[in-house]
Structure 1
Amino acid sequence: MKIFKLPDLGEGLQEAEIVKWHVGVGDEIKADQVMVSVETAKAIIDIPAPYAGKIVKLYGKPGEIAHTGAPLAAFEGEGADKDTGTVVGEIEVGEKVIAEAPPAPPPTAAGIKAMPAVRALARKLNIDLAMVTPTGADGLTTAGDVQRAAKILAEVGPQERLRGVRRAMAQNMMLANAEVASAAIMDDADIDAWPQGVNVMLRLIRGLVAGCRAEPSLNAWYDGAKMGRWVLKKIDLGVAVDTPDGLLVPVLRNV
């Protein structure tokens, strides 16, 4: 038996969401037959089978995230050793599987202080106690806390799962918020002398570049762990663009 792993899909993409399986356990498939569709931060990609054989196991369900190098499917049969098809990205295949690691145990709520009746109420209302702010003595979660959380969730409606571009946008914004020393400057500028029909965005980009050259500390990497910075000579400028699929930031290199 051989294990087919999620190939490197390029452009630094380290994960993909499983959108749809086109095969099932027990299916006899041919090399290059579309096996699964996955969605990255860039697009939906159809991944073909690397060789012919029989599917004995599928790893992951639609909606789950698969990381590069993680198992996708297990094959058996002569084709798994002979027929090699075309694969998106760089393929990584494991040899025979002797034993599989047991699944990780589900997280417990052992660290949450709540009476059995309160836990039962949370299960009834489908409330995750880890998301509830306790107001009782010594951090005890009360029935009122659970009911208040249920009311808030009822008002905001069901959670919308982020996929593809929007998920990548949210992850990058959270990372930037944690690692980038943010600053904002607001001022007015007289642009009456600008000729009519001039592209304002291009002039703003030139102004930002001129500002970074005049004050190099604006174009620096900050290292919070070592409490230092790297002042860069090359200027890469990101421009936020609002699109129907979310906020995208194309980067102009070496402007």
Structure 2
Amino acid sequence: MSLRTFLLPDLGEGLTEAELVTWLVAVGDEIRVDQPVAEVETAKSLVEVPSPFAGTVAQLHGEAGQTLDVGRPLISVSPSGAADQAPPPVAPEVPDEGPAAPAAPGASDPDGEAYRQEEKAGSGNVLIGYGTPGGHAVARRSRRPRNAAAGTAAAPVAVAAPGSVSAASPAPALAIVPDLPAEAPRCISPLVRKLARESGIRLADLQGSGANGLILRSDVEGALAGNGPGSPTVTADSAVAEDPRTGLMVASRTPVKGLRKTVAANLAASRANIPEATVWVDVDATSLLELRADLKRRHPESTPGLMAFLARFVLAGLAKFPELNARFDPAAGNTAGGASITAYEGVNLGFAAQTDRGLVVPSVRRADTMNARQLDTEIRRLTASARDGKATPAELTSGTFTLNNYGVFGVDGSAAIINYPESAILGIGRIIDKPWVVDGALMVRKMTELTLVFDHRICDGGTAGGFLRYVADAIENPGSVLADL
């Protein structure tokens, strides 16, 4: 029979894995092309994955809560009626250590290349909900495990006859770890290297737990969580016992995965890679609140929220100080191989949104082309989408500058962490009544605090201070910036 296996597709946006949240089908179910078969969590959003095949579900590769790498089997489907003709083949187990070892330079991988080409021509966008072009199924071929050292295909896996068990049959070899020099870090996975690099962890400092000391993803994640060699392993099902580090009984252990894992890696990368500096200023927001209250009385149904006005002031400030709407690339975009600063035409304005699943940062794409009412509409739409877990990867990863209104939590200021790999974040504290001197007289005013955290590599304090002062002046005297809006 012709069993077809759908591999978890290339997620795009720099993503390499997804957590399987729940299956929407079961073995034996009849499914159609583009029918959702699983719900996965990736890029801080929940996404339904549709199948490019129609037929009968023969096998589900993975369980709820498991993290799957891109290119690994997700679901196997047999054509309708084929399930009654022959039993499904026994699929080899896929290890959790990460993707199979890469081939030696110059070695060919026809199945892998076919998979990549078919992703481009067929359901390459299934993970973000586009399905297959025209609703047609596109056949995929599974990548065969290969000998990493020699680059040759591994022997085919024998299929056991119905009812038979062969205890003597050896398990298929998925990869052979090459003999790496003893003085070099033993890491052959590009995904593991990328995770270590973005987290600021030196592979040479790690002790690999894989074969021949191979450094696995779990080793990097353990170092990121502070679990070095000899430290207790934190697992969901570990017996509750005394923690030798504190002498206290452990109440619970919660695995770091899904959204929390993504956030943790991003925050660690920001702190490890960005030499940040902070400037702040107290701002009298009385005039802005009075202006909005007057608009609300005259146009109760169409007056933008306060966040939209603040966003509009920020965008006007970025037009005058574009250095803050840029990224520092350590070794990209430069023919000499050195560092460069990437500037952008236009602003994708991110804003921090607290959801039941954690903190996410959706972004208003080309926010610089919108007025306050348009910004208000888009901010509300993205907030609702993020809270429902329906924001797309592009909406959650394309920001170039972030606005963070932590004043809604009743706090005045924050030592915010830049949303890596952006270069700046502007925080807004709560607006409260405070005594303030106006024209030599002490008065009660509506005060707030603005805090700008920026990458000191992209600009100096003069630029950061100039931007912050511009936004503060706009809040204190909205009419002064009308020409820039």
User: Shorter-chain TM-score: what band?
Assistant: 0.5 to 0.7
The residue correspondences of 1:10-159 to structure 2 (distance < 5 A) are 14-21=16-23, 22-24=25-27, 27=28, 29-31=30-32, 35-40=37-42, 41-45=44-48, 47-48=50-51, 50-53=53-56, 55=58, 57-76=59-78, 89-90=131-132, 93-94=140-141, 99=156, 102-103=173-174, 107-108=209-210, 130=229, 132=231, 148-149=244-245, 151=247, 154-155=249-250, 157-159=252-254
Over 3 Å counting, the alpha-carbon distance change for 1:205 and 1:50 in structure 2 is same
Quote how far apart the aligned CAs of 1:54 are: 6.4
The residue correspondences of 1:170-209 to structure 2 (distance < 5 A) are 170-196=264-290, 198=292, 199-209=305-315
Task: Give the distance between the partners of 1:241 and 1:211, measured in 2 at CA.
Answer: 22
* Structure 1 counterpart SS, 2:229: helix
Task: Give the distance between the partners of 1:10 and 1:95, measured in 2 at CA.
Answer: 20
Identical-residue share of aligned pairs (%): 27
Over 3 Å counting, the alpha-carbon distance change for 1:249 and 1:48 in structure 2 is same
* Structure 2 counterpart SS, 1:159: coil
Select which of 338, 349, 358 maps to 1:246.
358
Amino acid at match of 2:280: M
| Contact kept? 2:30, 2:80, Cα under 8 Å | no
Quote how far apart the aligned CAs of 1:5 are: 1.5
Q: In structure 2, what is the equivalent of residue 162 of structure 1? A: 257
Quote how far apart the aligned CAs of 1:205 are: 1.8
| Contact kept? 2:352, 2:362, Cα under 8 Å | yes
Task: Give the distance between the partners of 1:53 and 1:96, measured in 2 at CA.
Answer: 22
| Contact kept? 1:30, 1:49, Cα under 8 Å | no
Amino acid at match of 2:290: Q
Bigger relative CO (Cα 8 Å, ≥ 6 apart): 1
Task: Give the distance between the partners of 2:142 and 2:250, measured in 1 at CA.
Answer: 51
* Structure 1 counterpart SS, 2:264: helix
| Contact kept? 1:15, 1:68, Cα under 8 Å | yes
Amino acid at match of 2:209: P
Over 3 Å counting, the alpha-carbon distance change for 1:51 and 1:9 in structure 2 is farther
| Contact kept? 2:54, 2:80, Cα under 8 Å | no
Q: In structure 1, what is the equivalent of residue 5 of structure 2? A: 3
Can you give the 5+ residue segments of structure 1 that lack an aligned partner in the other structure? 81-85, 112-127, 134-145
Which structure has more strand as a fraction of its residues? 1
| Contact kept? 2:7, 2:142, Cα under 8 Å | no
* Structure 2 counterpart SS, 1:132: coil
Task: Give the distance between the partners of 1:220 and 1:34, measured in 2 at CA.
Answer: 38
Aligned residues: 217
Over 3 Å counting, the alpha-carbon distance change for 1:37 and 1:160 in structure 2 is same
CA RMSD of aligned residues (A): 4.1
Over 3 Å counting, the alpha-carbon distance change for 1:7 and 1:191 in structure 2 is same
Amino acid at match of 1:63: G
Task: Give the distance between the partners of 1:129 and 1:195, measured in 2 at CA.
Answer: 52
* Structure 2 counterpart SS, 1:63: coil
- 1:141-198 alpha-carbon deviations (Å, 9 max, x no partner): xxxxx9633746x4463124433x4444334333444455534221112223334262
| Contact kept? 2:347, 2:365, Cα under 8 Å | yes
Task: Give the distance between the partners of 1:131 and 1:180, measured in 2 at CA.
Answer: 30
Over 3 Å counting, the alpha-carbon distance change for 1:107 and 1:220 in structure 2 is same
Q: In structure 2, what is the equivalent of residue 118 of structure 1? A: none
Quote how far apart the aligned CAs of 1:65 are: 1.7
Please say which of residues 182-191 and 68-77 is displaced more in the overlay. Answer: 68-77
Over 3 Å counting, the alpha-carbon distance change for 1:205 and 1:96 in structure 2 is closer
| Contact kept? 1:53, 1:78, Cα under 8 Å | yes
